[in-house]
Amino acid sequence: MESNINSITCSGDRPTVMVTNDDGIDAPGLRALVRVLVSSNRFKVLVCAPDSEKSAVSHSVTWKNAVSATPVEISGATAFAVSGTPADCTSLGISKALFPSVPDLVISGINMGSNCGYHVVYSGTVAGAREAFFNGLPSVSLSYDWAGGRSNADDFTLAAEACLPIIIAILSEIKRDTYPQNCFLNIDVPTDVRNHKVVQLLNSHR
């Protein structure tokens, strides 16, 4: 498949990132990620996510029914809620039907729960990133290892902050045209975000 990586618009200091997920556009993981991206003042942020939860739908797509998109108010971002699957959202979001340009990077998440091993087959979150990869665009799926009774909504913000250096590094490689074109990333953030040594190391190099 021909890659679109050389046609992306990663110019100046504000590359465009598009966020999707499978937990729905109102999910705390997505909202935390968007807030962190917007508050960093480094990106133009787009959101194209399901209008309701679409967990574990894998890479299913809508083909018999029409898919609708409704504008949603999210501070600092241009956002649409889509009546389809995560793969539908990515496909629509990169098509220029909703947004005037193709994003530089597609980020799917932050998912509520781990996505590793065989779970990547079932995950709609991973599929959101995989659909971008199928279309030759850099992408990453993000998941937080939610633990019942221990985790809370604030942990999504910590997870987003932990992933921010990775996102910045990816976009830096895209801008230098050194980002690999034959893969996409799937990142699982550990439950104890604040005290995890790897997370601390990443944040110390921001």
- pLDDT at position 202 is 42
Evaluate whether residue 6 is within a structural domain: no
Look-up of token digits 């496909």? 91
Domain contains 1: no
How sure is the predictor about 5, in pLDDT bands with cuts at 50, 70 and 90? Answer: very low
**Residue 60 maps to which CATH number?**
3.40.1210.10
Residue 61 covered by a domain: yes
Q: Is 148 exposed, middle or buried (0-12, 13-18, 19+ CB in 10 A)?
A: exposed
- Tell whether the model's pLDDT for residue 2 goes beyond 80: no
Mean pLDDT of 112-117: 94
Strands in 4-133 per DSSP E:
16-20, 44-50, 69-74, 77-82, 105-112
Is 2 a member of any domain?
no
Asked whether the beta carbons of 179 and 133 are under 8 A apart, the reply is: no
pLDDT at 149 over 90: no
Give the model's confidence band at 195: pLDDT under 50 very low, under 70 low, under 90 confident, else very high. Answer: confident
Question: Per-residue pLDDT for 9 more than 50?
Answer: no
pLDDT over 60 at 165, yes or no: yes
59 in a structural domain: yes
Q: What pLDDT, in 10s, does the model give residues 51-68? A: 999 999 999 999 999 999
Sign of torsion, CA 106 95 30 54? Answer: negative
Assigned domain for 8 exists: no
Least trusted range by pLDDT, from 22-26, 35-39, 130-134, 199-203: 199-203
- Is position 74 within any domain? yes
User: What pLDDT does 198 receive?
Assistant: 54
Tally of structural domains, the chain? 1
- The range of the structural domain enclosing residue 123 comes to 14-204
The answer to whether residue 130 is domain-embedded is yes
